[in-house]
A and B are shown apart, each in its own frame.
Chain A
Amino acid sequence: MPAFSFNDTLVLAATMFSVGLAGVLVRRNMVFMLMSLDIMLNAAALVFVAAGARWHDATGQVMFVLILALAAVETAVGLAIILRLHAHGRPTLDADAGNLLEG
């Protein structure tokens, strides 16, 4: 019997996704929102890998690699946006203050 059954992995991934979603919804600091997004992406990637292990198919890990690339792009662009907003002279990282930008 393997250490993780498919159902256990699904429960773990669902819990991680919920935690990440709660982080996006609760936190207003944009750095924390990006980290919560990463947690959610990891949960989704975990489901792919678990399904690949369950049916013994390499496609799960292919999807994992693609999600990894997606997460890298998302983090890079998000952090660039955060830097840009911060360099605009606002001392805050509050996501709700984004509508106060000029142009």
Chain B
Amino acid sequence: MHALALLAAGITVMGAIMVITRRVAVHAVLYLVVTLLALSVVLVMLGASFAAMLEVIIYAGAIMVLFIFVIMMLNLGQPDSQREKEWLRPRAWLGPGVLAAIVCMELLYCASPLSGPARLPVPITAHDVGLSLFGRYVLMVELVSFLLLAGLVTAFHIGRHREGGH
């Protein structure tokens, strides 16, 4: 197995392990972001650059923002100064920072012309995915739109503020 592939896979697994062993939820979210970025590197190595882009934009972008927003709203009851002191300590950000730096260095190394001609598998572009998505699988797209609508209605109904009653 290629050394870079081993590195990306190792960061993915190690980030996942760190996610489930953290005590503070924000630290776990940081490690989860690192895991998703490393997984998107794996997807690029598989020749699925479109999926990797979606992984970064939707997963590491949108869904993680949801997590951070909810964790912010939960505000599990420490005084503010104490929490900020907790955030500024190096052990809060050193682990995700180091892992993210490794992924970033790997990206830079792959982008440099010194690494030689990489023999990637034949990539499947967004064009192929789009043709397939709206050709053979158009019914499934409709079903997913139903699912998204149901999720929207459910989240709104569950999360709305009820006056008075329980």
Interface residues of A (CB under 8 A from B): 1-5, 8-9, 12, 15-16, 19-20, 22-23, 26-27, 29, 31-32, 34-36, 38-39, 42, 45-46, 49-50, 52-53, 56-62, 64-66, 68-77, 79-84, 86, 88, 91, 93, 102-103
Contact flag A61-B51 (CB < 8 Å), given A2-B120, A81-B158: yes
- For the complex of A and B, list the 10 residue pairs with the smallest distance between their C-beta atoms, beginning with the closest: A23-B20, A73-B151, A80-B159, A58-B128, A58-B132, A3-B2, A3-B5, A80-B155, A19-B16, A3-B45
A62: chain B residues at CB < 8 Å are 129, 132-133, 137, 140
In the bound complex, do residue A36 and residue B73 qualify as a contact, i.e. CB atoms below 8 Å apart?
Answer: no
B105 CB within 8 Å of chain A: no
Q: Among the listed A12, A38, A86, which residue makes an inter-chain contact with B32, where contact means beta carbons less than 8 Å apart?
A: A38
Contact flag A46-B42 (CB < 8 Å), given A32-B25, A32-B28, A64-B51: yes
B99 CB within 8 Å of chain A: no
In the bound complex, do residue B121 and residue A53 qualify as a contact, i.e. CB atoms below 8 Å apart?
Answer: yes
**Interface hub of B25, B147, B155 (most chain A Cβ within 10 A):** B155
In the bound complex, do residue A61 and residue B129 qualify as a contact, i.e. CB atoms below 8 Å apart?
Answer: yes
B63 CB within 8 Å of chain A: yes
Q: Closest approach, in angstroms, between the C-beta of B19 and any C-beta of chain A?
A: 6
Contact flag A39-B9 (CB < 8 Å), given A50-B46, A69-B147, A76-B155: no
In the bound complex, do residue B150 and residue A75 qualify as a contact, i.e. CB atoms below 8 Å apart?
Answer: no
Listed by A's residue number, 23 A-B pairs whose Cβ atoms lie within 8 Å are A1-B119, A2-B46, A2-B121, A4-B1, A9-B46, A31-B70, A39-B19, A49-B46, A49-B48, A53-B121, A58-B128, A58-B129, A58-B131, A68-B54, A69-B148, A73-B150, A73-B151, A79-B66, A79-B70, A79-B155, A83-B73, A84-B159, A88-B166
Contact flag A8-B63 (CB < 8 Å), given A49-B46, A65-B133: no
A26: chain B residues at CB < 8 Å are 20
A29: chain B residues at CB < 8 Å are 25
Q: Bound state CA distance, A65 and B68, in angstroms? A: 23
Q: In chain B between 73 and 111, which residues have their CB closer than 8 angstroms to a CB of chain A?
A: 73-74, 76-77
Q: Among the listed B9, B20, B58, which residue makes an inter-chain contact with A22, where contact means beta carbons less than 8 Å apart?
A: B20
Q: Among the listed A35, A42, A57, A84, which residue makes an inter-chain contact with B28, where contact means beta carbons less than 8 Å apart?
A: A35
Known: A1-B119, A61-B48. 13 other contacts (CB 8 A): A2-B45, A2-B47, A4-B5, A12-B9, A19-B17, A31-B71, A32-B28, A35-B29, A38-B63, A39-B20, A61-B128, A77-B155, A91-B77
